[in-house]
Structure 1
């Protein structure tokens, strides 16, 4: 799966699925809230980005940009980017509903249209990283646009989830795939054209990508399924979430020298 095929599939998929995605998950994500993952971990509680007051923040793969709008309410100068025009359309609608607007940019996460050392924080909650064939380039772009001492934080499906079927029930508790099989998950149309592509990397792969880009890894957060959380989101469910992690959140820093 080439980078161009992956990019084309992702843009087409999220443009076409934007309405359905927001209809299904919009209430959970909120119009101005920063939810890191289906487990419901919120930045307001986790503080993985630190104090954002007065900080210049870029959210990549922003979707409807609810995270960026929350950051704006916390005093950050937030910018939101996404590959999909369909998702950015929902970002505009979210700004209208919430009364909180942030600048929106349609951009590829592997070629960010910003000068070097522009931002204090770059972040994404399940955006860009899982869908990009050359995710190491995303790490390098995040490093490039960050100022020295800046923070890069992103959440993805926990790599060990690739061992199991995408089944929130008992069928999703049986290991059926190799953790070390790094082939992408691909859906195709009737003409064998890729329509959805998601990439798999191991935990070690992700750490090596970060280190090779010049980052120092500060934390790897594996949110536990909270008591009282009964909602199912795709393959995330209380049954599976109480047994093994569904999300990995990486927090890294660009050194000052």
Structure 2
């Protein structure tokens, strides 16, 4: 089994432990007993190496799952909001990451539901094989990522990988699609970030010009402009508008 399939399967399992209904989580799980014992059997050594390899892959699962969902765009946009307002560490990183995670679960809920119905539940019921479950899960994730990936970005990695021009979505490898999806998400996030910066930049320019005209050269403009930025953000219900824009950017 290839590395990306192991990461995909492990990540989906961890996600569903948090978001799937209780009847799925209640499925009996195998016990794990990690011991290092001397042996002369090569097969036992191979099994131990497989366990070590899987544990190593687990460390990479969060990065893979973050890059395959809407988390990247959300956290970058929220970071732009804080930077544009110049509020230093307010809101703190824990709040922004927590909000980004829950928005990600909300946006990805239809995809996770399709994976649960078509891949996880049939696999737990022994109706399909592990390979079929992975294929079904990968298909739904690829549909989501392709919907939000620019053709130009996808062509970049297809050409760089020296693969033949894909005739359908099934021909596009997940390892080609992930980086194309990420840079498409980053471009969209930076476009939204630019629009967020504009009104706050105008406030900074107005405050700086006013202070210069009054001869108050020693007063940092940010000290005066910060309350006005916060006031503008509160009066326009900024968090509502930011979250609404993020949801609408995914067609919700």
Q: Which has the larger radius of gyration?
A: 2
Query: TM-score, normalised on structure 2?
Result: 0.23
Query: TM-score, normalised on structure 1?
Result: 0.22
Q: Which has the higher strand share?
A: 1
Q: Which has the higher helix share?
A: 2
